[in-house]
């Protein structure tokens, strides 16, 4: 029986050094930051982690190095989606062998496969390993969309224990929650999709978010399952209070805003991988000002230091 994950599940950025190489010590700093501030689990090398621009060797190294940093109750999951079924299975097996707590899988990008093909893909992966797995239904990124009937068939497999939904279909979330109370149902924190409030109200188990990269304690409070009025009231206050941050982190393609903002306030992040470019000028200053107004800079002892040249990755 796999442990049910509840709370804030943060999709971590991949920190890079100034020369673009992996910043392994940056991972250590970020993981400590999340443990200290209530994050229940992190997803390493999801879309927020620029996984599609990491080489196979880099992906293996990230798993091998960060697994050694496991400590306490916070779980380490890894984005293991490959460009086909075999490469995905290979990556999940690597994560399992290294000691990962689990893996999150999406449909391979670009191929726009039919729903039936992707359902078979998810089932074949689960049959190939013995590791807690999550399904990431993210049609805006991969164009393949799983409906609730396909999802419920997949959740009959004991290895699938997490569902992350990135559509705006409240009814689909309700179908999964009603039929599979043993599955941790998470939704992304995008205020534009508007799925967070109804998911938590229906009994959702947390959020699979990226805003927690810069406000982990706030997202931990927002992501607590509603056991009663206290959690619902905390959610309402936290959600409305952090709404400017949520809108900012989705103001450009993920992870451009959140990684640019992290770097600007001194958290390990480094440059984005080209062709992505960081925010600069008024767009970035708006984000820093917003963090100051929300009290986030003071809460975490962060100090703004805006990059002189976001395209090159040079520090001021």
The one catalytic residue in 164, 239, 250, 259 is: 164
What are the C-alpha distances in Å from 276 to residues 106, 240, 245, 253? Answer: 21, 30, 21, 9
Cα→Cα distances 8→25, 40, 100, Å: 23, 5, 18
Q: Which entry of 121, 136, 250, 300 is annotated as an active-site residue?
A: 136
Q: Which of 55, 48, 51 is nearest to 11 (CA)?
A: 48
The helix/strand/coil state of 65 is helix
Give Cβ neighbours of residue 117 (< 8 Å, ≥ 6 apart).
none
DSSP code for 273:
P
DSSP bridge partners of 146: none
Give the integer Cα–Cα distance in Å for 39 and 18: 27
| Residue 95, burial from CB neighbour count under 10 angstroms (0-12, 13-18, 19+) | buried
Known catalytic residue at 68: no
Angle between helices 229-249 and 281-294 (to 10 degrees): 160
CA dihedral 49, 15, 252, 45 (to 10 degrees): 0
| List of E strands, the chain | 7-11, 41-44, 75-79, 102-105, 133-137, 160-165, 184-187, 206-209
Instruction: Give, in order, the Cα–Cα distances in Å from 69 to each of 9, 100, 175, 272.
Output: 17, 11, 37, 24
DSSP H or E run through 296: helix 296-300
Residue with tokens 């709370």: 7
164 catalytically annotated: yes
How far is Cα 209 from Cα 175, in angstroms, rounded to an integer?
Answer: 22
Please give the positions annotated as active site. Answer: 136, 164
């Amino acid at each position: 029986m796999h442990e049910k994950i509840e709370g804030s599940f943060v999709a971590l950025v991949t920190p890079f050094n100034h020369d673009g190489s992996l910043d392994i010590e940056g991972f250590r700093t970020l993981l400590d930051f999340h443990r200290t501030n209530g994050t229940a689990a992190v997803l390493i090398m999801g879309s927020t982690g620029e996984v599609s621009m990491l080489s196979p060797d880099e992906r293996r190294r990230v798993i091998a190095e960060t697994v050694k940093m496991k400590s306490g109750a916070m779980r380490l999951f890894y984005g293991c989606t490959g460009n086909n079924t075999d490469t995905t299975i290979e990556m999940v097996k690597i994560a399992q062998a290294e000691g990962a707590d689990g893996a999150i899988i999406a449909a391979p990008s670009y191929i726009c496969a039919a729903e039936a093909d992707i359902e078979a893909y998810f089932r074949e992966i689960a049959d190939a390993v013995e590791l807690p797995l999550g399904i990431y239904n993210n049609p805006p990124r991969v164009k393949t969309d799983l409906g609730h009937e396909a999802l419920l068939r997949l959740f009959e497999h004991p290895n699938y224990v997490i569902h992350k939904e990135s559509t705006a279909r409240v009814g689909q979330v309700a179908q999964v929650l009603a039929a599979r109370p043993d599955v941790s149902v998470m939704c992304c924190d995008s205020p534009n999709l508007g799925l967070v409030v109804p998911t938590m109200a229906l009994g959702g188990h947390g959020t699979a978010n990226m805003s927690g990269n810069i406000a982990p304690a706030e997202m931990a409070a927002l992501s607590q399952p509603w056991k009663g009025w206290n959690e619902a009231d905390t959610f309402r206050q936290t959600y409305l209070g952090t709404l400017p941050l949520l809108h900012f982190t989705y103001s450009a393609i993920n992870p451009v805003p959140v990684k640019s903002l992290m770097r600007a306030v001194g958290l390990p992040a480094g440059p984005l991988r080209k062709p992505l470019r960081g925010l600069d000028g008024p767009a970035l200053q708006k984000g820093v000002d917003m963090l100051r107004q929300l009290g986030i800079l003071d809460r975490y002892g962060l100090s703004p230091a805006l990059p002189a040249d976001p395209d090159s990755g040079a520090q001021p």
